[in-house]
Amino acid sequence: MKDRILKGRVWILREPSGNVYNNIDTDQIYHNNYLAITDIAQMGQYALGNLKGYESFAKHAKPGDIVITGRNFGAGSSRQQAVDCFAALGVSLIICESIGAIYKRNAINSGFPIMTCPGIIKYVDQKDGMLKDGDVIEADIEKGIVSLKSHSGDLVIQAEPFSKVQLEIYDSGNIFSYVPPVHGR
Protein backbone atom coordinates (compact mmCIF):
# COMPACT_ATOMS: atom_id res chain seq x y z
CA MET A 1 0.00 0.00 0.00
CA LYS A 2 1.33 3.42 -1.01
CA ASP A 3 1.39 6.45 1.26
CA ARG A 4 -2.04 7.91 1.95
CA ILE A 5 -0.61 11.18 3.25
CA LEU A 6 1.37 13.10 0.68
CA LYS A 7 3.57 15.95 1.85
CA GLY A 8 5.20 18.48 -0.43
CA ARG A 9 6.09 22.01 -1.40
CA VAL A 10 3.28 23.97 -3.04
CA TRP A 11 3.25 25.46 -6.53
CA ILE A 12 0.18 27.66 -7.05
CA LEU A 13 -0.40 28.16 -10.78
CA ARG A 14 -1.25 31.83 -11.30
CA GLU A 15 -1.99 33.92 -14.36
CA PRO A 16 0.32 36.90 -14.94
CA SER A 17 -2.44 39.02 -13.30
CA GLY A 18 -2.00 37.04 -10.07
CA ASN A 19 -5.33 35.20 -10.25
CA VAL A 20 -5.28 31.43 -10.01
CA TYR A 21 -5.30 29.82 -13.44
CA ASN A 22 -8.54 28.19 -14.57
CA ASN A 23 -9.13 26.14 -17.73
CA ILE A 24 -5.54 24.97 -18.18
CA ASP A 25 -5.76 22.67 -21.15
CA THR A 26 -3.62 19.69 -22.06
CA ASP A 27 -1.75 21.69 -24.70
CA GLN A 28 -0.62 24.16 -22.03
CA ILE A 29 0.40 21.27 -19.79
CA TYR A 30 2.23 19.32 -22.51
CA HIS A 31 2.57 20.92 -25.92
CA ASN A 32 1.75 18.89 -29.02
CA ASN A 33 5.26 19.58 -30.38
CA TYR A 34 6.52 16.81 -28.08
CA LEU A 35 3.91 14.11 -28.68
CA ALA A 36 6.43 11.93 -30.53
CA ILE A 37 8.33 11.38 -27.25
CA THR A 38 7.35 7.98 -25.88
CA ASP A 39 9.82 7.69 -22.97
CA ILE A 40 7.94 8.96 -19.91
CA ALA A 41 11.21 9.90 -18.20
CA GLN A 42 11.86 12.40 -21.02
CA MET A 43 8.41 14.03 -20.80
CA GLY A 44 8.97 15.89 -17.54
CA GLN A 45 11.21 18.52 -19.08
CA TYR A 46 8.22 19.83 -21.07
CA ALA A 47 5.68 20.02 -18.22
CA LEU A 48 3.80 23.35 -18.30
CA GLY A 49 6.22 24.62 -20.95
CA ASN A 50 3.32 26.18 -22.86
CA LEU A 51 1.70 27.89 -19.84
CA LYS A 52 2.52 31.59 -19.59
CA GLY A 53 4.73 32.19 -16.58
CA TYR A 54 5.61 28.52 -16.08
CA GLU A 55 7.83 27.83 -19.08
CA SER A 56 10.70 26.91 -16.71
CA PHE A 57 8.57 24.95 -14.23
CA ALA A 58 10.32 21.67 -15.07
CA LYS A 59 13.74 23.13 -14.21
CA HIS A 60 12.62 24.16 -10.74
CA ALA A 61 10.15 21.43 -9.74
CA LYS A 62 11.37 18.89 -7.23
CA PRO A 63 10.15 15.38 -6.48
CA GLY A 64 7.30 15.55 -3.99
CA ASP A 65 6.05 18.98 -5.07
CA ILE A 66 2.29 19.59 -5.05
CA VAL A 67 0.61 21.69 -7.76
CA ILE A 68 -2.51 23.71 -6.91
CA THR A 69 -4.71 25.30 -9.54
CA GLY A 70 -8.28 26.38 -10.27
CA ARG A 71 -11.23 25.04 -12.21
CA ASN A 72 -11.29 22.68 -15.18
CA PHE A 73 -7.66 21.58 -14.96
CA GLY A 74 -6.64 19.35 -17.87
CA ALA A 75 -9.41 20.43 -20.21
CA GLY A 76 -9.12 19.41 -23.81
CA SER A 77 -7.73 16.38 -25.53
CA SER A 78 -7.09 12.94 -24.12
CA ARG A 79 -3.34 13.59 -24.11
CA GLN A 80 -1.85 11.05 -21.68
CA GLN A 81 1.48 12.89 -21.76
CA ALA A 82 -0.18 15.73 -19.83
CA VAL A 83 -0.37 13.36 -16.85
CA ASP A 84 2.89 11.51 -17.47
CA CYS A 85 4.99 14.70 -17.57
CA PHE A 86 4.15 15.40 -13.91
CA ALA A 87 4.87 11.80 -12.93
CA ALA A 88 8.24 12.05 -14.69
CA LEU A 89 9.15 15.05 -12.52
CA GLY A 90 8.06 13.29 -9.35
CA VAL A 91 5.20 15.72 -8.65
CA SER A 92 3.34 13.95 -5.86
CA LEU A 93 -0.14 15.45 -6.25
CA ILE A 94 -2.25 17.95 -8.16
CA ILE A 95 -5.04 19.70 -6.25
CA CYS A 96 -7.62 21.73 -8.18
CA GLU A 97 -11.15 23.14 -7.93
CA SER A 98 -12.28 20.80 -10.69
CA ILE A 99 -10.72 18.50 -13.27
CA GLY A 100 -11.44 17.91 -16.93
CA ALA A 101 -13.18 14.53 -17.20
CA ILE A 102 -10.71 12.89 -19.59
CA TYR A 103 -7.71 14.20 -17.66
CA LYS A 104 -9.14 12.84 -14.42
CA ARG A 105 -9.69 9.41 -15.98
CA ASN A 106 -6.16 9.38 -17.42
CA ALA A 107 -4.67 10.35 -14.05
CA ILE A 108 -6.64 7.69 -12.18
CA ASN A 109 -5.77 5.02 -14.76
CA SER A 110 -2.09 5.94 -14.43
CA GLY A 111 -2.21 5.80 -10.65
CA PHE A 112 -1.27 9.49 -10.54
CA PRO A 113 -2.75 11.35 -7.56
CA ILE A 114 -5.10 14.17 -8.44
CA MET A 115 -7.55 15.62 -5.94
CA THR A 116 -10.58 17.88 -6.34
CA CYS A 117 -10.92 20.53 -3.68
CA PRO A 118 -13.92 22.79 -4.18
CA GLY A 119 -13.15 26.23 -2.76
CA ILE A 120 -9.35 25.86 -2.86
CA ILE A 121 -9.10 29.17 -4.74
CA LYS A 122 -10.08 31.20 -1.67
CA TYR A 123 -7.22 29.62 0.30
CA VAL A 124 -4.65 30.60 -2.32
CA ASP A 125 -5.96 34.11 -3.03
CA GLN A 126 -2.93 36.35 -3.46
CA LYS A 127 -4.07 38.93 -0.87
CA ASP A 128 -6.12 37.00 1.66
CA GLY A 129 -5.23 33.35 1.21
CA MET A 130 -3.30 31.41 3.82
CA LEU A 131 -1.58 29.07 1.31
CA LYS A 132 1.44 30.54 -0.46
CA ASP A 133 3.92 29.26 -3.04
CA GLY A 134 6.61 27.25 -1.29
CA ASP A 135 4.49 26.29 1.74
CA VAL A 136 4.72 22.64 2.71
CA ILE A 137 1.34 20.97 3.00
CA GLU A 138 0.02 17.51 3.74
CA ALA A 139 -2.84 15.92 1.85
CA ASP A 140 -4.60 12.83 3.14
CA ILE A 141 -5.95 11.35 -0.08
CA GLU A 142 -8.06 8.75 1.71
CA LYS A 143 -9.83 11.23 4.01
CA GLY A 144 -9.72 14.20 1.63
CA ILE A 145 -7.99 16.52 4.07
CA VAL A 146 -5.42 19.13 3.04
CA SER A 147 -3.55 20.77 5.90
CA LEU A 148 -0.93 23.44 6.51
CA LYS A 149 0.80 24.09 9.79
CA SER A 150 2.38 27.54 9.83
CA HIS A 151 3.55 30.23 12.19
CA SER A 152 0.38 32.19 11.39
CA GLY A 153 -1.91 29.29 12.29
CA ASP A 154 -3.10 25.91 11.13
CA LEU A 155 -5.29 25.45 8.08
CA VAL A 156 -7.42 22.40 7.36
CA ILE A 157 -9.33 22.19 4.07
CA GLN A 158 -11.85 19.50 3.15
CA ALA A 159 -11.28 18.07 -0.30
CA GLU A 160 -12.89 15.11 -2.05
CA PRO A 161 -11.27 11.89 -0.85
CA PHE A 162 -10.16 9.31 -3.38
CA SER A 163 -12.86 6.80 -4.19
CA LYS A 164 -12.30 3.18 -3.20
CA VAL A 165 -11.45 2.21 -6.79
CA GLN A 166 -9.17 5.23 -7.24
CA LEU A 167 -7.26 4.18 -4.10
CA GLU A 168 -7.02 0.59 -5.33
CA ILE A 169 -5.65 1.68 -8.73
CA TYR A 170 -3.25 4.11 -7.01
CA ASP A 171 -1.99 1.30 -4.76
CA SER A 172 -1.62 -1.03 -7.76
CA GLY A 173 0.45 1.51 -9.69
CA ASN A 174 -1.91 1.83 -12.65
CA ILE A 175 -5.04 0.35 -14.21
CA PHE A 176 -3.05 -2.38 -15.95
CA SER A 177 -1.73 -3.70 -12.64
CA TYR A 178 -5.07 -3.36 -10.88
CA VAL A 179 -6.93 -6.53 -10.02
CA PRO A 180 -10.33 -5.72 -8.55
CA PRO A 181 -11.33 -7.70 -5.47
CA VAL A 182 -13.69 -10.60 -6.12
CA HIS A 183 -16.83 -10.33 -4.01
CA GLY A 184 -19.01 -13.21 -2.99
CA ARG A 185 -16.39 -15.96 -3.19
Q: What is the pLDDT along the chain (185 residues), one digit of tens a residue?
A: 899 999 999 999 999 999 999 999 999 999 999 999 999 999 999 999 999 999 999 999 999 999 999 999 999 888 999 999 999 999 999 999 999 999 999 999 999 999 999 999 999 887 778 889 999 999 999 999 999 987 667 889 999 999 999 999 999 999 999 988 776 55
Contact 28, 57 (CB under 8 A): no
Positions of E strands within 106-152 = 114-116, 136-140, 145-150
CA-CA-CA-CA torsion sign (183, 144, 82, 77):
positive
122, HSE (Cβ side, Cα atoms, 13 Å): 7
DSSP state, residue 45 = G
Distance CA(142)–CA(21), nearest Å, equals 26
Contact 80, 106 (CB under 8 A): yes
Give the pTM.
0.93
Characterize the bridge pairing of strands 66-69 and 93-96.
parallel
The confidence score (pLDDT) of residue 13 equals: 97
The confidence score (pLDDT) of residue 158 equals: 95
Q: What angle do CA 133, 130, 134 make, to 5 degrees?
A: 20
> End-to-end CA distance of the chain, in Å?
23
Nearest CA to 12 out of 71, 70, 97, 91 is that of 70
The residue type found at 61 is A
Domains defined along the chain, listed by start: 7-134 (3.20.19.10)
Positions of E strands within 44-144 = 66-69, 93-96, 114-116, 136-140
